[in-house]
């Protein structure tokens, strides 16, 4: 689970990583009570990246500017996600922008430090610009300094950057994180450094050991309109950039369906695992209810024109699925035309064929055929 930027910055502040004074904004009107002096930067608090390029980061010189900017940001979806909160932060003039991150190198099974003197919105992960230092033994400040030197830093910048990397490493280990990233780390010619953006991915399996992280994750669910019943959309929905929406029940089925679509040269727009039929982690609703919510979610993206639903049904009656699909597809069809393709497996799935006879929904029992149709339906 990714934390929001303001949450990552709270952890940075506790750890001693320099961050600017900031304030959470829930409504544009909150800016009237802003305690930070102008000029400020207003930033959309969504989990996806690329906010800067999408227009989700704006500067404001006074209250009127700030309210207008906040209104624009609240109405701006970034990769389909609307912010529930904005972060207002003191504006900082950096002379250069660096990239820093710590994550696990899955193949070496060791933490790896990443750093580049060319950070910011155009950060480039090519081997010749992104420097890597694998932490082979117990961590020591030596690793942080080695990264700073590999990044080509000289003078005071070496100390300033390695001190931040050391703090990031403490956070990474103490909180069992999957990722700590600062991009950009603003750096001034005076040697002053500032974390201007932060990203933290917590390890969901470790949440029970970290009450403070669990509280942050819970808090961002409260901010969001998503209730606990639809929380699975947060963890099980993945957005890509093609045209085919994929909806399945079960992680294995979802991944294999995604693979088949890709192998057939199809372009997935997104994929969603509805979870198993029975009570499942955060999903307390019956499968047909999750299907309804899930179909609404995957069709929200304007690039979707094919919806491929692949379900394995044990206890759920195919009748329930049929009713849900007809209901959602009829409602959706009035906005836009989609090609609906369903592959249900279960004891009473022959009824689906008959039920869908005079609808726009195609039922196929064979998964390869269903995938082939989805790929060629609307290229």
Q: Binding marks (x or -) toward ligand GDP, 343..362, rule CB under 6 A? A: --------------------
- Closest residue to Mn ion in the complex (CB): 197
Minimum distance of Mn ion from residue 91's CB (angstroms): 16
Nearer to Mn ion, 3 or 355 (CB): 3
Among Mn ion, ligand GDP, none, partner that 141 touches (CB below 5 to 8 angstroms by kind): none
**CA distance to 118, 121, 123, 253, per residue, from 185 (Å):** 10, 12, 12, 40
**Chain residues 319-358 in contact with Mn ion, contact rule CB under 5 A:** none
The verdict on 57 binding ligand GDP (CB under 6 A) reads yes
Residue from 117, 120, 344, 346 in contact with ligand GDP (CB under 6 A)? 120
**Chain residues 189-248 in contact with Mn ion, contact rule CB under 5 A:** 197
**CA-based torsion, 314, 316, 317, 320: positive or negative:** negative
Residue from 30, 36, 38, 52 in contact with ligand GDP (CB under 6 A)? 52
User: How far apart (Å, rounded) are the C-alpha atoms in residues 38 and 63?
Assistant: 8
Report whether 162 contacts 147 (CB < 8 A): yes
User: How far apart (Å, rounded) are the C-alpha atoms in residues 138 and 120?
Assistant: 30
Minimum distance of ligand GDP from residue 119's CB (angstroms): 7
Minimum distance of ligand GDP from residue 54's CB (angstroms): 8
For 24, residues 6+ apart whose C-beta sits below 8 A from its C-beta are: 6, 45, 85, 86, 87, 88
For 245, residues 6+ apart whose C-beta sits below 8 A from its C-beta are: 268, 269, 270, 271, 272, 298, 299, 301, 304, 306, 307, 308
The verdict on 51 binding ligand GDP (CB under 6 A) reads yes
Among Mn ion, ligand GDP, none, partner that 196 touches (CB below 5 to 8 angstroms by kind): ligand GDP
**Chain residues 70-109 in contact with ligand GDP, contact rule CB under 6 A:** 89, 91-94, 97
Total residues belonging to the chain: 379
User: How far apart (Å, rounded) are the C-alpha atoms in residues 52 and 120?
Assistant: 9
Minimum distance of Mn ion from residue 57's CB (angstroms): 9
**Chain residues 25-44 in contact with ligand GDP, contact rule CB under 6 A:** 41, 43
Among Mn ion, ligand GDP, none, partner that 319 touches (CB below 5 to 8 angstroms by kind): none
Minimum distance of Mn ion from residue 43's CB (angstroms): 9
Minimum distance of ligand GDP from residue 324's CB (angstroms): 36
Residue 245: count of CB within 10 angstroms of its CB: 28
**Chain residues 190-219 in contact with ligand GDP, contact rule CB under 6 A:** 196-197
Helix (H) or strand (E) holding 258: helix 251-263
The verdict on 2 binding ligand GDP (CB under 6 A) reads no
Residue 335 burial (CB < 10 Å; 0-12/13-18/19+)? exposed
For 187, residues 6+ apart whose C-beta sits below 8 A from its C-beta are: 94, 95, 96, 97, 98, 157, 160, 161, 193, 194
Among ligand GDP, Mn ion, none, partner that 221 touches (CB below 5 to 8 angstroms by kind): none
Residue from 116, 131, 183, 249 in contact with Mn ion (CB under 5 A)? 183
User: How far apart (Å, rounded) are the C-alpha atoms in residues 61 and 259?
Assistant: 49
For 93, residues 6+ apart whose C-beta sits below 8 A from its C-beta are: 188
- In the numeric block, the tokens 């909806």 are attached to 247
Interface ranges with ligand GDP (CB under 6 A): 41, 43, 49-52, 57, 89, 91-94, 97, 120-121, 183-184, 196-197
Interface ranges with Mn ion (CB under 5 A): 183, 197
């Amino acid at each position: 689970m990714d934390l929001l930027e303001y949450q990552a910055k709270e952890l940075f502040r506790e750890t001693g990583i320099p961050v600017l004074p900031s304030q959470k904004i829930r409504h544009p009107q909150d800016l009237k009570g802003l305690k930070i002096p102008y000029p400020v930067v207003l930033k959309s608090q969504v989990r996806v990246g690329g906010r800067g390029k999408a227009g989700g980061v704006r500067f404001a010189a006074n209250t009127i500017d700030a309210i207008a900017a906040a209104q624009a940001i609240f109405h701006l979806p970034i990769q389909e996600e609307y912010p529930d909160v904005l972060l207002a932060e003191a504006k900082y003039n950096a002379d250069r922008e660096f990239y820093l991150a710590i994550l696990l190198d899955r193949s070496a099974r060791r933490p790896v430090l990443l750093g580049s003197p060319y950070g910011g919105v155009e950060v480039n992960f090519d081997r010749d610009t992104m420097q890597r230092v694998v932490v082979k033994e117990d961590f020591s400040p030596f690793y942080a300094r080695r990264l700073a030197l590999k990044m080509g830093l000289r003078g005071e910048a070496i100390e300033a950057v390695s001190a931040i990397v050391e703090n990031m490493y403490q956070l990474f280990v103490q909180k069992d994180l999957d990722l700590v990233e600062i991009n950009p780390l603003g750096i001034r010619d005076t040697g002053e450094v500032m974390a201007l953006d932060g990203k933290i991915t917590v390890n969901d399996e470790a949440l029970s050991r970290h009450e403070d992280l669990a509280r942050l994750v819970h808090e961002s669910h409260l901010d969001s309109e998503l209730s606990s019943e639809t929380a699975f959309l947060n963890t099980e929905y993945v957005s890509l950039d093609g045209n085919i929406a994929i909806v399945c029940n079960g992680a294995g089925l979802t991944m294999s369906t995604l693979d088949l679509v890709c192998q057939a040269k199809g372009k997935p727009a997104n994929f969603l695992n509805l979870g198993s039929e029975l009570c499942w982690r955060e999903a307390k609703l019956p499968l047909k209810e999750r299907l309804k919510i899930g179909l609404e979610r995957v069709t929200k993206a304007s690039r979707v024109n094919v919806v491929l639903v692949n379900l394995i049904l044990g206890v759920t009656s195919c009748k329930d699925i049929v009713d849900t699909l007809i209901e959602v597809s009829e409602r959706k069809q009035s906005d836009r035309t989609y090609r609906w393709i369903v592959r249900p497996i279960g004891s009473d799935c022959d009824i689906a064929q008959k039920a869908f006879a005079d609808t726009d929904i195609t039922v196929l029992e064979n998964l390869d055929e269903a995938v082939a149709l989805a790929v060629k339906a609307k290229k």
